[in-house]
Amino acid sequence: MPNFNDLNLDNWKESEIWTDSLWIIQERDKTGKHSNFYHGNFVPQIPRQLISRYTKKNEVVFDPFVGSGTTAYEAETLGRHFIGVDIQKDLVEQLKSKVDNEKYFSEIISGDSSKSTTFDEINEVLKKRKKESVSLAILHPPYADIVKFSDLKDDLSNAKSLKEFLSGFALVLKNTISILESGRYLAIVIGDKYTAGQWIPLGFYCMNEAQKLGLTLKSIIIKNMEGNRAKQNKEGIWRYRALSSDYYIFKHEYILIFKK
């Protein structure tokens, strides 16, 4: 059995872990605490798969862009502790009221994940909880400026250029790596963008930032994109635009798996 999860390989045929590099998810799971009120949240099936594959019960999962709490809820359901950070105070307060701290702790911090002071606070949480590090980090950053999440200057969705976005994201990566246990895993969920008639391979740029910091790339998973709010009920319009031009319509995003 791998030493980074609870899978019983004697019953490997019964495992619900996906091992292919193409994930087709037709509909987001809306059970339990999950909802789709927050523009930009990812489907719960993604953190569910990652947490199940790369952690054991009672270990700590970390999300530096916690948003509406998708990863927090999955960690709670699967019996993992959780630490999450978000730059939007109102989201943090809302999430704090929803997570269950009875059996497994969920520490939600209001802060900027690109700042070392935020991670000083995280290290205090780990010390208080008698944990030396986190066992899995799941990062679902803004896809640059595609969706503006707030008016905050340090919000990555407000970066004035691709260079500024990647510089800020690299700081988040560096800070996250500092609290990740050696030999454990970090996942980046990211899509590309289209600007000024040019496809911007944001996923590959983010992958490059992770590799520059010494992480080992283990997998590139392609996931389908369904029910995009910006394109909802406008499929015909987008198809016409694509046919009348020279581009293709975004229907995929990446789940990039790294090992420290």
Q: What is the pLDDT of residues 124-165, one digit of tens each?
A: 999 999 999 999 999 999 988 777 777 778 888 889 999 999
Cα–Cα distance, 65 to 163 (Å, whole number): 19
15-64 pLDDT per residue, tens: 999 999 999 998 888 776 666 555 556 899 999 999 999 999 999 999 99
Element (H, E) at 165: helix 162-179
Contact assessment for residue 168 and residue 232, using Cβ atoms and an 8 Å cutoff: no
pTM (2 decimals)? Answer: 0.92
CATH, domain range 16-259: 3.40.50.150
Task: Give the domain ranges of the chain.
Answer: 16-259
Side-chain half-sphere of 196: how many Cα atoms within 13 Å?
A: 2
164-198 pLDDT per residue, tens: 999 999 999 999 999 999 999 999 999 999 888 89
Sign of CA dihedral 65, 174, 136, 53: positive
Distances (CA, A) of 77 to 44, 105, 154: 11, 12, 32
